[in-house]
Chains A and B, each alone.
Chain A
Amino acid sequence: MSGPLMTPIATLRALAGRLPVWWSRVLAAALIVVGVAVPFLFGGNGGFMNATIIAFAYAVMSLGLNIVVGIAGLLDLGYVAFYALGAYSVGWFGSEFFAKAQVHVLVNSVVSTLPGVHLNFLLILVAAAAICALAGVVIGLPTLRLRGDYIAIVTLAFGEIIYVIAVNGANINIGGGMTLTAGNLGISAVDSPYFPGIAQFGLLDLKPWYWLIFAILLVAVFINLRARDSRLGRAWIALREDEVAAVSMGIPLVRTKLLAYAMGAAFGGMSGAFLATYTTQVNASQFQFGFSIFILAMVIIGGLGSIWGAVTGGLVLGYINNWLIPDVLNNLPSTFGFRFQLTQVEFGIFGFLLVITMLLRPQGLIPERRRQLELTSAIPADDAQLGNEPEGTT
């Protein structure tokens, strides 16, 4: 039992275990009510609300990466690729970027007069998820025969490939004088979501944006919980624990692993599509390697394999990155006479947080029950498995 925060969480778990089944439904309902009410508590606008929206989007990405890295145990260092593809789904299907085309599906009257491909945001969301799921399979295929560190190298390369394509896409002609991406210039002025009669999306009122990403996050959490506690979730964990034993028990290796990649990627794509719409731009410079590590840090700080951990990790780093550092503490160094701002050293701060987490709480903020076992178990799992020192046999 290491770490100062161990006891409260363990106590909470023990408490939760004793509550009746319907209690979790009540808790979920309460969480949703509080979640919906947040904008009224903190005002519909301002830096905190903005940070909340981005943090929720990060939490969705963190959930996606957690499926691949945490649950299925496949170290993916190129997750930013799915952020990019999700964002470009918006650039391609929700802006004037493909100016020669004239496609309008369920968009408002102003947008329907503009050139380009304009799909309703929900359709773009589905397209982003589908494109990323497909890309997830593409990255999954060459890694199937690999293990551990080698998977990390291949996925890292994949992330870089997508980034380089994004940067140089401005020179890739796809016909009619149109290019694949706009490179570092970025595609800007993308369409806002259009949900007639439900909400008006604009720059002045952040509430609809908040509710939209809150809904996406809820769906993501729900799908994650259901998938984890199922035949498929068990198969992922079994593959993570022992691949040879898992396939010998009838788990199809290729299909199960690819499903993990595809599903993880789809959440990255949805979050990427939302962020691109929210920030109204798709710029290649956003999709650098550092962001892959940033999302991985969310998963690790939250607790590898833990769904609530992934959400917490996404929220914590989201708030630190978009609120605490730029809005609250940015000028802290200058009050001590240093001539720099905190935003200039933010990656250093994340690195420091990661090191602190690993030292004080290596299992993460909200650890998965199983991982906790690996880190705190008195009997090393390896010895027991190899049967070197059989117990109870003599």
Chain B
Amino acid sequence: MSADLTAPSGAPPVPAPPILRAERIIKQFGGLTAVNDVSFDIPARSIVSVIGPNGAGKTTFFNMLTGLIRPTSGRITLNGRNITRARPDVITRRGVARTFQNIRLFGAMTAIENVMVGRHARMRAGLVGAVIRPPWVGAEERAARERARELLAYVGLPTGSFDRFASQLPYGDQRRVEIARALATEPALLLLDEPTAGMNPRESAELAAFMRRLRDDLDLTILLIEHDMKVVMGVSQRVTVLNYGAKIAEGPPASVRADPAVIEAYLGKEG
């Protein structure tokens, strides 16, 4: 699978085994086939992208990987374990985290609380523990809060905004908090759904650099849905192109960019 992967400099030298493998995924909504027989591998510690025109089935594909919707047929494995029909919270626990195309923060919770919710799967306190609050629960709470502060600092949220409600933060900071919240779940695979939407070129470039840093600092694998071609071409080791739910091209950015099928999907047929 990674034979066709011409890794740019900075990528792992040895082809890594896939962290996630989707085999022959089909999703039908009534008569509409949103995702049609897509197979897909994500090599560990890589950054790969899914692109395609609006309505190509990218987000549907994402939602299947994270368990929000279930494929009509096909099989998804994470590190060799089948997660095709697993619940979203179980998939998160196993190491897949995501952000959303339209930011979905908990608006009436503070930035810190948002990130602490991301710690949920990594904490143990239940109702009894919460009420009695033995020392280990207090320690767990403090550790979660401390970790949330670290992550918010890591994604570059100003310290003064930590205790502000998420809905009161500027747009760019909301994106940051959303990434911090996803990182709080301790993912091995991070799915970013159009993270540069609404950003200017400078911010997009910063985000691209940040994604590389994430991969190198945290050993993360990143799957990206993105419309900004500059970001996609600059950061990805591999690009997959969906159109009308089907995979029409896959490969390193340069070859995908030159692929006639891709050009046709984006610009239409000539003549």
Contacts and interface: CB of A to CB of B under 8 A. Distances in A.
A253 interface: yes
Contacts of A252: 87, 89
A381 to B, nearest CB: 4
A381 B167 contact: yes
A377 interface: yes
A84 B173 CA distance: 49
B9 interface: no
Interface in A367-394: 370-371, 373-374, 377, 379, 381, 384-387, 390-394
B197 interface: yes
Contact of A249 (B117, B125, B130): B117
Contacts of A227: 127, 130-131
A241 B171 contact: no
Contacts of B117: 234-235, 238, 246, 249, 251
Contacts of A386: 102
Closest CB pairs A-B (n = 3):
A250-B121, A230-B130, A370-B108
B243 interface: no
Contact of A373 (B68, B120, B131, B165): B165
A237 interface: yes
Contacts of B131: 222-223, 226-227
A15 to B, nearest CB: 18
A229 B130 CA distance: 8
A229 to B, nearest CB: 8
A381 B89 contact: no
A246 B98 CA distance: 11
A248 interface: yes
A392 B87 contact: no
Given A227-B131, A387-B198, A390-B171, A232 B125 contact: yes
Given A244-B104, A385-B105, A386-B102, A231 B125 contact: yes
- What's the interface size class on B, roughly? 35 or more
Contacts of B104: 242, 244-245, 385
Nearest to A250: B121
12 contacts: A234-B116, A238-B106, A238-B109, A242-B105, A246-B106, A251-B89, A259-B127, A371-B108, A374-B107, A377-B168, A387-B102, A393-B171
Interface of A: 222-223, 226-227, 229-235, 237-238, 241-242, 244-253, 259, 263, 370-371, 373-374, 377, 379, 381, 384-387, 390-394
B139 interface: no
B237 interface: no
Contact of A248 (B66, B109, B144, B171): B66
B74 interface: no
Interface of B: 66, 68, 87-89, 92-93, 97-98, 100, 102-109, 113, 116-123, 125-127, 129-131, 133, 137, 140-141, 144, 165, 167-174, 181-182, 184-185, 197-200, 203
A180 B97 CA distance: 51
A384 B108 contact: no
Contact of A374 (B100, B108, B181, B203): B108
A373 B108 contact: yes
Contact of B68 (A223, A232, A234, A244): A244
A251 B185 CA distance: 11
A234 B108 contact: no
B199 A393 contact: yes
Contacts of A374: 107-108
B66 A231 contact: no
Nearest to B96: A248
Nearest to A383: B167
A247 B172 contact: no
Contact of A390 (B123, B168, B185, B198): B198
B181 A249 contact: yes
Contact of A235 (B98, B120, B137, B169): B120
Given A242-B104, A250-B185, A370-B108, A234 B120 contact: yes
Given A248-B100, A249-B184, 13 more contacts: A223-B131, A226-B133, A232-B130, A237-B106, A237-B108, A242-B104, A249-B89, A250-B185, A251-B89, A373-B168, A387-B103, A391-B172, A392-B170
B20 to A, nearest CB: 16
Contacts of A229: 130
